[in-house]
Amino acid sequence: MLVGVLGLVALAAAAAGGWWLWRRAAVSTPAPVTYELERLTFDSASAFSPAISPDGNLIAYASDRAGSFSLYLRQFRARQAIQMTGQDGTAWYPSFSPDGLKIFYRSERDGGGLYARDALAGPGGAEMELVDGGDMPAVSPDGTTVAYLVTSALTGRAALFVVPAGGGASRHVGPELLAVWPAIAGGHQPPLWSPDSSNILLRGMRGSDRKTLGLWVASVAESKAEAIEGLPACPDWFARYVVAWRGEFLYYVEGEPINGSTLYRVQLAPGPWHATRAPEKLASVAGVVMSASAAVRGRMVLPVYTVETNLWAAPLQAGKGTSQGPLEAVTADSSGKRRLSVAANAPRLAYSTYGPPGQGNVEVRLRDLATGRESLIAGTGAYPFLDPVLSPDGSKVAFVDRREDKLVAYVAESGSTAGQVVCENCRVLGFFPGSSEVLVQVGDDLSRGLLD
């Protein structure tokens, strides 16, 4: 289960009442900066993709409290929020104009597109469709342009575009640059404008070359992109999101479901773009942070997700595919879990589990549904996304692990504690009938492989 809670980090001292405080130890140097976190939402609904107005007084976000996700608007110190959009289509990813008078957002209505509306018009206010398709709109600091992503349904990778904020023709920026999801996250790094509106930051790579994967700065005028150098490496199981670009500093969050997230800032300089010093840790958050929005005054609003994952089962009516009984818990522990696979023709399932990085408790668990007994295949602990796939008869399980900086795909017999190497830097996506052949993905290519 993934539960969203809006929180707010202040990057300067603020009123202490009801805030959680992080402080650097007192030293003889000038007074330390104070970093504080305050919870803003308390209902049981999810709060997603928040945006704070540049003056820090308004917060817009998506919530499913009324059913599908709709946009809500509230004043910073208020407890009540106004529903801005109806139930005719999911709406999310709001972005304020620099004057705070307009909100740009994504709506799934009529196939999906980007829209703009007056921030203070209230429910039923007039909307302007800006562009068909597109995702994650971000308004430039000078208010003239909206950056957005166009995602491929096949690969999940996205291209960067810009469109005038008042409407007009769209233009592709950084044509060789493709945005790529962070490892554990369910979405892209949103486009992030430089303070002077001349550049856009994105997480991606050049074409299909994964060796170039990282943070890039794309020039809007020249339509070229440069990779940011000098940033520390991010582990594969961490998600890193840059959430604000203020002056010469980038602010980013980095983390994973078990250990939570950490907010950093790092100084950035052009010519070529590079980090000038080591990142500075600002605050820790007990949860997963995948996006944020910062105001000019220094307030930052962010959704904090608490992850609790377990497996459940429900009996089905034969031949109908509908449930005929209540859900029953299959697991009830706090470990992280990924990629449930159920054998098509046998009472077996497989899933991967993991704990905090570095503790070695990464494994594939195989369960006999008739007896409830489990066996396991231990991973190296260097990679938590083993992502098992069972053969149709449940006799074999494929998984992937990291060894010496290479992703290695394995196939193991059920009940075995080790596997046969299938290929390197690839994944087994499934088994063909008979379980002696597998479907293998290498980059963007698919091939058929015969097992020994």
DSSP state of 110: G
pLDDT at 16: 23
The answer on 236 and 292 residing in a single domain is yes
Burial of residue 254, with CB atoms counted within 10 A of its CB: 0-12 exposed, 13-18 middle, 19 or more buried: buried
User: Any idea what the CATH number is for the domain that residue 105 is in?
Assistant: 2.120.10.30
pLDDT at 245: 92
**C-beta of residue 31 within 8 angstroms of C-beta of residue 12:** no
The answer on 88 and 26 residing in a single domain is yes
The answer on 131 and 46 residing in a single domain is yes
Pairing of strands 249-256, 91-96: unpaired
Flag residues of the chain having pLDDT under 50: 1-4, 7-32
Number of domains into which the chain is organized: 2
Tell me the C-alpha distance between 156 and 208, whole Å: 12
Is residue 26 one of the residues assigned to a domain? yes
The answer on 176 and 40 residing in a single domain is yes
- In the listed set 273, 307, 341, which residue is the last one of a domain according to the structure? 307
Parent domain of 270: 2-307
pLDDT digits (tens, 9 = 90+) for 387-417: 899 999 999 999 999 888 788 999 998 777 7
Residue whose structure tokens are 């609003």: 301
The answer on 298 and 397 residing in a single domain is no
The answer on 328 and 286 residing in a single domain is no
pLDDT digits (tens, 9 = 90+) for 178-187: 988 765 555 7
The answer on 301 and 328 residing in a single domain is no
Q: DSSP string spanning 349-395?
A: EEEEEE-STTS---EEEEEETTT--EEEEE--SS-S----EE-TTSS
Whether a cis peptide bond, with omega within 30° of 0, leads into 272 is: yes
